[in-house]
Structure 1
Amino acid sequence: MEPDTTEKQTRPFDTRAAFQEQLRDCFSRARHTLQVFDPDFATWELGSSRVDALLRAFLARHGRLELVAHSNAELERNAPRFLRLLKDYTHLIECRLTPPNLRLLTDSFCVADRRHLVRRFHADHMRGVAVYGSEAETQDNCERFAAIWAETIPGLHAGTTGL
């Protein structure tokens, strides 16, 4: 992973491995906020040990993680590490669900500190772009996340799965 720099970097990707690499890079650059949206987080590997370590380091620095999904079923079934992370840092993680009128949204993105972005153009495909060190490039996704967040309802939390 490259250190955070002030110079803008743009990295297109089109494979699952490249998407995972860009997500890990984005997570490692985050210091204050991670705002993420995906229909179900099935391809995000939030339950992997590598992502768990990055998110734990971020949350240990008192970062805030906000997730929005159409469904949390994938996380509940296949991401026990993420569920433990949620239990350990419930005060710093908020998981929300979209209402039915937003279920037509099909892209997928992560914004870190309003400066770094990883975005897939459609959640069913791995083609996308990562942009680092540019508030101007992340502004649209930040505004979009805020608009989506404003319409969401509470979702996954530590008590949901009996943790």
Structure 2
Amino acid sequence: MLEPQVSQFDTHTEFAALIRQCLARACSRIQLFDPDFSRWPLGSVDVIDTLRHFLRSGTPGRLELAMHNAAHLEQHCPRFIALLTEYSHAIECRATPKNLLLLTDSFCVADGINTVRRFHAGHFRGEAAFDSAAGAVICVERFSAIWAESRPVLHSIRLTI
């Protein structure tokens, strides 16, 4: 068992680097929650490459995103939308109902042991915990509750001619 690694961050650069690190550690499941993902690097080439590698690795990966509003992903992340189309069987996006719009944190969970969490989506102050199942419990439980209340959004449509 690896020793848990916990670190604090408070800048966008640190947040983006830790998200990349968390995604790269994933083997089977990635769960993401953010009000709109506008401050996440989900449209960058290197993150899409990391997610593509994750989704086609030996163990079938599963990527789940929960959000309040999908407009940013739809309008500003064409690479992510292309990935969603390519891996529609392994990626699911859901939108939260109105009663959950008051949730303002933001987090990434990889395999239930690696987390990056901003305490408020409007700020970059947060904490990352790697190789720590105990450190991930709150985010895992929170994501499960959010997921259960949310409805599918960003459906992939693949047309064949």
Q: Work out the number of aligned pairs and report it.
A: 158
Name the residue aligned to 2:136.
138
Which residues of structure 1 form unaligned runs of 5+?
A: none
Which residues of structure 2 form unaligned runs of 5+?
A: none
Name the residue aligned to 1:26.
22
Q: 1:88 aligns with which of 86, 89, 98?
A: 86
Deviation at 1:59, TM superposition (A): 0.5
Supply the RMSD in Å over aligned alpha carbons. 1.5
Deviation at 1:93, TM superposition (A): 0.2
Consecutive aligned runs of 4 or more in structure 1 exceeding 4 Å deviation = none
* Corresponding position: 1:127 with 2:100: no
TM-score in terms of structure 2 length: 0.95
Secondary structure, aligned partner of 1:119: strand
TM-score in terms of structure 1 length: 0.94
Task: Give the partner amino acid of 1:17.
Answer: T
Secondary structure, aligned partner of 1:81: helix
Deviation at 1:162, TM superposition (A): 8.3
Between the aligned partners of 1:116 and 1:50, the Cα distance in structure 2 is 19
For residues 33-72 of structure 1, the aligned pairs below 5 Å read 33-61=29-57, 62-72=60-70
Q: 2:7 aligns with which of 5, 11, 19?
A: 11
Between the aligned partners of 2:7 and 2:18, the Cα distance in structure 1 is 8
Name the residue aligned to 2:150.
152
Task: Give the partner amino acid of 2:102.
Answer: L
